[in-house]
Amino acid sequence: MVSSLFIRWATLLQQQTERPAYLRIADFIAEGITTGELPSRYRLPPLRDLAETLSLNYTTVTRGYAEARRRGLIDSRPGLGSFIRTKASSVSVTPMSNYEMTMNAPVEPAGSVIEEALRTGALNLFSNTDIQGLLRYQDFGGSADDKAAAMLWMNKKLTLTDESEVLVCAGIHNALVGIMTLLKRKKGAVCVSNLIYPGMKAIASHLEIKLKAVLCDEYGPDPAAFEALCRAGEISALYINPTLHNPTTLTIPAFRRRELAEVCTRYNISIIEDDAYAALTEDKIPAFAELVPSLTWYITGMSKCFGPGLRIAFLKGPDNQAIARLSGVLRALTIMSSPLTNALARQWINDGTADRMLNEIKSEAKIRQNLASTWLSGYEYQADSNGYHIWLLLPKMINSNSSDVAAKLREKGISAVSGIAFCTDNKPVEALRLCLGGSQTRQQCEDRLKILSEMLADPIFFSSMAI
């Protein structure tokens, strides 16, 4: 599954840095856990095999595994090898504060009004619903009521009238696994940006599907470069995250979406449109599912704009036949999405709580982005006022790569994610993805931004922690 991951480690180790190689091995393991490329209980290569792959001596790799054990990332057993821990964390065991900038969590609106609305909706649901019925097997893809609520949510960006086009799934990641499993039957690679959602990399690696990075500019994938790949017969599908792109926060403009859609139409290329953050924006930009509905798998959900515990996704397929094929794949993978989760989502959508929560999140995100603009005013970064992420380019004066910097920030309690985690073309960007969300208060968020600003302003800090 991850042989390509270790080759990437070898490439990164060739880059000059003051951080010792054994510490970087532990950093790489932590990063792999964060991205999902090193899943729970995964057996790491034997020490001598990894030493050969990384062109390091046996002692250095042994120290790297020992450091990973010290951080609580792996377990080692004589005769059995080293394994990723079941409850591994990408954060060092170094003591830290009780809050952090988490990787991908929405801001949580303060105050009791929203919390009371959530609680009231849940109580109303369980007071007026057949609880035993929610514990039974349900039709795959959601009930008619579930699909009606899904269409209400999806109609923020699309116009849907036929519930047979819609599936309710157990999260966007689950839907992506199903679609990629289905696409594996076709020949060719999946075309992606040079930076993508790390979970997609893990899915492709697990299914042994090749990802082909395409040249990108400030508007997204370059249509001419994409068409060249299609013309060569290398591509079977395009994976695109067009709104508040993970990790760069870019929203692809309408003209670029149309250009890419035209290429897909000419070459009959399937489109996987991961629109996880769509509900956060007010932009009226056409989705690929509107531009080329016969080729597009459109996925959105509620976890990125409501809360990560609400694992639910809404999917529209190219046609009923394609939906039926995907249903068969997802049924084999997960049986069904949780009726309890579906019912809660349905309740909150129908009674208006979901919209109220969404509006509060967007309002708070704007405030925190304003705070970020103050504390990071001297640095180059990308962000969208509708979102709660920052794509921060490392200052050139910092003589460390993004993986090293991310590791050092985590040691201080800031859960930064290195640009390496998102890279698909073996040309890692020296940048960090940071989140203004999570459970911390607005004040705690500002405190964390202040610490980050002070650390970035002091390159000696990073070099002093290299050994």
Give per-residue pLDDT as tens, 233-254.
889 999 999 999 999 999 999 9
Could you tell me how many residues make up the chain?
A: 467
What are the two backbone dihedrals, phi and then psi, of residue 451, each rounded to the nearest 5 degrees? -60, -45
CA distance 317 to 434: 32
DSSP annotation of 244 reads: S
Residue 307: the pLDDT is 81
User: Which two structure tokens, joined as six digits, stand for 62?
Assistant: 């042994």
Residue 148: the pLDDT is 94
* pTM across the whole model: 0.79
**Over its length of 467 residues, how does the chain's per-residue pLDDT go in tens digits?**
457 788 888 888 887 677 789 988 988 898 888 777 888 788 899 999 999 999 999 999 999 999 888 877 888 887 788 999 864 333 333 333 333 345 677 887 776 677 788 888 888 888 888 888 778 888 788 899 999 999 999 998 888 888 888 999 999 999 999 999 998 888 789 999 999 998 898 898 888 899 999 999 999 999 999 999 999 988 999 999 999 999 999 999 999 999 999 999 999 999 999 999 999 998 889 999 999 999 999 999 998 888 888 899 999 999 999 999 999 999 888 888 889 899 999 999 999 999 998 999 999 999 999 999 999 998 999 999 989 999 999 888 776 677 777 777 777 767 778 888 888 887 778 899 998 887 678 888 888 899 889 888 886 766 544 43
Residue 439: the pLDDT is 62
CA distance 322 to 329: 11
Q: Count of alpha carbons within 13 Å of 122, Cβ hemisphere only? A: 9
Residue 413: the pLDDT is 67
CA distance 46 to 69: 15
